[in-house]
Amino acid sequence: MPDVATLAVHLGLAPGSAALRQALTHSSYAAEHGGESNERLEFLGDAVVDLAVADYIVGRFPLVNEGTASVLRSRVVNEDSLAAVARELALGDLLLLGRGVVKEKGNERSSVLADAFEAVVAAVYLDSGYDAAKAVVVRYLEEAIEVASRDDNLDPKTRLKRWAEGQGMGTPEYEVAASGPSHDVTFVATVSVGPLLVSASGPSKKRAEANAAAAAWEELPDA
């Protein structure tokens, strides 16, 4: 049977972490026994998890645009995936729940477990700072992010290339021009695919090409 002190050490916290104990206190238990529930920590943890995953995605996949990054994050930061992590950490066995919620097996509910994981991340954030909280999030969600990222839609150039080749149009061709002063260069990429000629800009050659591929995709009639 897991215990809170062991979980605390596993997360790099002091065995007696008050924040962690609060993170494991459901509102139903607080209502019956007094004290503060994990609701405020869940609110904070929700933001920390979102930031940590976004931070990881931006660093790991520098070519994805904002829309694609948002899709990737939403595939990972959701009730099912967070509840799965909570189960891996055995949070359900450690949650303090009110009698009615215990009777209803609330410790098995995905919504309760997902909230508990977010609250636990907030506890790490409060006790040890953002870097420690991000490390916990990445440790348990990195594999899910990598799996989700294998979708071709997350790489505009690969998606466009496969579509064009499948249509017998050959490989899209890119031309890139740079303009502006050396300290503030803007790159403009033009992609030629079939009858289309589409341009887009970006702060780097790779970003401009990716943006051009994404823009071309939007103009394809049957992609």
Give the span between the Cα atoms of 96 and 22, in whole angstroms.
9
Is residue 175 very low, low, confident or very high in pLDDT (cuts 50, 70, 90)? very high
pLDDT at 4 over 90: yes
> Mean pLDDT over residues 69-98, rounded?
92
CATH of the domain at 160: 3.30.160.20
One domain, residues 111 and 159: no
Is residue 137 very low, low, confident or very high in pLDDT (cuts 50, 70, 90)? very high
One domain, residues 123 and 180: no
For the chain, what is the largest distance between any 2 Cα atoms, rounded to a whole number of angstroms? 70
The count of C-alpha atoms lying within 13 angstroms of the C-alpha of 175, restricted to the half-sphere facing its C-beta, is: 6
One domain, residues 66 and 78: yes
pLDDT at 80 over 80: yes
> Three-state SS for 186?
strand
One domain, residues 166 and 100: no
Give the span between the Cα atoms of 20 and 25, in whole angstroms.
9
Identity of the highest mean pLDDT range in 41-50, 158-167, 177-186, 201-210: 41-50
Any long-range contacts for 168-173 (C-beta under 8 Å, 24+ apart)? 169/193, 169/194, 172/213, 172/216
One domain, residues 110 and 203: no
> Mean pLDDT over residues 67-81, rounded?
88
One domain, residues 171 and 127: no
CA distance readout (Å), 215 to 69, 82, 92, 191, 196? 16, 33, 46, 9, 11
Catalytic residues: 46, 118
Is residue 130 very low, low, confident or very high in pLDDT (cuts 50, 70, 90)? very high
Instruction: Assess contact for 193 and 166: CB atoms under 8 A.
Output: no
One domain, residues 142 and 176: no
Is residue 165 very low, low, confident or very high in pLDDT (cuts 50, 70, 90)? confident
One domain, residues 21 and 62: yes
Domains in the chain, number = 2
pLDDT at site 155: 75
DSSP state of 161: H
pLDDT at site 51: 97
Residue 11 belongs to what H/E stretch? Answer: none
pLDDT one-digit tens code per residue, 9-55: 999 999 999 999 999 999 999 999 988 999 999 999 999 999 999 99
pLDDT at site 91: 95
Q: Work out the percent of the chain whose per-residue pLDDT is above 70.
A: 97
pLDDT at 106 over 80: no
pLDDT at site 17: 95
Give the span between the Cα atoms of 204 and 133, in whole angstroms.
31
Q: pTM to 2 decimals?
A: 0.71
| Burial group, residue 132, by CB count within 10 angstroms (0-12, 13-18, 19+) | middle
Domain end marker among 125, 151, 177: 151
Give the span between the Cα atoms of 171 and 137, in whole angstroms.
38
CATH of the domain at 26: 1.10.1520.10
One domain, residues 59 and 160: no
pLDDT at site 223: 56
> Mean pLDDT over residues 59-87, rounded?
88
Q: Work out the percent of the chain whose per-residue pLDDT is above 90.
A: 63
> Can you give the residue range of the structural domain that contains 161?
155-219
